[in-house]
Amino acid sequence: MEEETGKINDEVKAGREEIYTKVVRAGKRTYFFDVKATRSDDFYLTITESKKRVGKEGKIFYEKHKIFLYKEDFEKFTEGLKEVVNYINDGKSRKDSVQKVEAKEVDAEAEPTELSTGKFTSVNFEDLGNVE
């Protein structure tokens, strides 16, 4: 127990004090959203994904992946995350994306049109008649 207290005190001294934590359990994964403070009292967020694993000798360990997200990046990160989540929630699938790419490739191979060749039909405005 003493060791953990020392670790926490060292983190506080180093300016990485945890201010707020939200734990989200999702299936086999657990996500930790930790608000921390720098030495200059600026907040930042760490997002940690933790997965329970079993080693070769049957010993349980936790595999962790961590992202540090700073205030100046919150807006762009949030926008990007929302866009990707909306894309997925709109029912998009890998199959849909592949079909769209294939459709574009087919269009690129289509016969040339007036627009693609630069040839246009001549129009004489006198043919439109007089409007009184």
Is 57 contained in some domain? yes
- Reply yes or no on whether the pLDDT at 6 is more than 50: no
Six-digit token pair at 9?
A: 């005190």
Helix, strand or coil, per DSSP, at residue 107? helix
Residue 58's CATH number: 3.10.450.700
Interval 54-73 mean pLDDT: 93
Is 127 contained in some domain? no
pLDDT tens for residues 101-115?
566 665 655 555 554
45 contacts 37 by C-beta, under 8 angstroms: no
Domain tally for the chain? 1
- Reply yes or no on whether the pLDDT at 71 is more than 80: yes
Confidence of residue 95 (pLDDT cuts 50, 70, 90): confident
Is 12 contained in some domain? yes
Q: From CA 82, how far away is CA 91, in angstroms rounded? A: 15
Give Cβ neighbours of residue 70 (< 8 Å, ≥ 6 apart).
42, 44, 45
Is 83 contained in some domain? yes
Is pLDDT larger for residue 28 or for residue 79? 79
- Number of Cβ within 10 Å of residue 61's Cβ equals 10
Is 91 contained in some domain? yes
Is 126 contained in some domain? no
Q: From CA 132, how far away is CA 3, in angstroms rounded? A: 95
Question: Which amino acid would we find at residue 73?
Answer: D
Output the CA angle 115-119-121, nearest 5 degrees: 100
Whether the CA torsion 60, 65, 70, 76 is positive or negative: it is negative
At residue 63, the pLDDT reads: 94
Is 118 contained in some domain? no
At residue 98, the pLDDT reads: 65
Is 132 contained in some domain? no
pLDDT exceeding 70 applies to what percent of the chain?
58
pLDDT exceeding 90 applies to what percent of the chain?
48
- Structural domain boundaries enclosing 14: 2-111
